[in-house]
Chain A
Amino acid sequence: MTTFDVLVEVRLRPGIADPEGATVERALPALGFGGVRGVRMGKAIRFEVEAASAEEARRTAEELCRRLLTNPVIEDAVIEVSPPVRQAT
């Protein structure tokens, strides 16, 4: 088995209200960032998965997203599985 580092980005679906992102965006012109648009807040969740392959680690992460990490009515997720950095012996 190998330990894979997984990064899940949970994002609000398009059209879902994001008052936090809107507030940040509204603060930007005062700092001189007039050209920045489309600020959306999300969550980054990191964890490790023991799996036989990167594909299996991804499947585990997908299942975890489906059952707990996202609410599919309002959120979706982008999953990134990093190549293993250490091998279990």
Chain B
Amino acid sequence: MAARVGVVLFPGSNCEHDVVEAVEALGAEADIVWHAKSALPDVDAVVLPGGFAHGDYLRPGAVARFSPVMSAVGDFVADGGPVVGICNGFQVLTEAGLLPGALQKNSGLKFLCTMVSVRVETANSVLTSAAETGQVLRIPINHFEGNYTCPAETLAELRDQDRVVLRYVDNPNGSTDSIAGVCNEGRNVVGLMPHPERASDPLLGSEDGRVLLRSLLAHVPALR
């Protein structure tokens, strides 16, 4: 049976169809889940896609965290379900307190839309289990608020617990410790600024994102 992925659609999300396309290409089924739903359909994994949920008003993710679907996502996380937040989805997860830290404005003055190299720092997460530690992936970024920051004690905890999932090879946005992605203590919630769904086909200039999405899908049967 194919894995079912729930892709949450907030007003202002704009990468949901890219995620659906990318996971379907890997043999999964995908459901787009409207943010106002208070329950998730029967899914094996959840993706919070990129975009500008609720217009990014106030702060990216600040209003989205109060969307009804987010309580269901919180319950899904508590049950060990795999959840990945990409770009704006990462911002939503930090605002919701499901991941530590925050994404501040890029340290340069620019919105960044470019291909970057990121290194897989641990294969022990729902997004990297099929990848190898040390593997370098070419995946695009597309953000203005992607500069990861957290208190020093949080950073120490992330390092000690091997929870930095991805690091930029060449830090593009000033992120603390070059962090591009982190996971929670349970390792079933991952947030990352790069867009693996946009690196899922040779036509897009890279298919390095597939190993990450494959990890997410491969994780599913283990849960059943």
Which positions in A face B, CB cutoff 8 Å? 12, 16-20, 22-23, 68-69, 71, 73-75
Contact = CB atoms under 8 A, between A and B. Distances in A.
A73 B101 contact: yes
Contacts of B94: 73
Contacts of A68: 58, 62, 66
Contacts, number: 36
A17 B151 contact: no
Given A73-B150, A73-B151, A17 B58 contact: no
B109 interface: yes
B133 interface: no
Mostly helix, strand, loop or mixed at chain B's interface?
A: loop
Contacts of B107: 17, 19
Given A69-B58, A71-B59, A74-B149, A19 B109 contact: yes
Contact of B102 (A18, A23, A73): A73
Contacts of A73: 94, 101-102, 149-151
11 contacts: A12-B104, A16-B104, A17-B104, A19-B106, A19-B107, A22-B109, A68-B62, A71-B95, A73-B149, A73-B150, A74-B102
Interface in B104-160: 104-109, 147, 149-151
- Ordered nearest first, which 6 A-B pairs have the shortest CB separation? A73-B102, A19-B109, A17-B107, A74-B102, A74-B104, A19-B105
Nearest to A70: B59
A16 B149 contact: yes
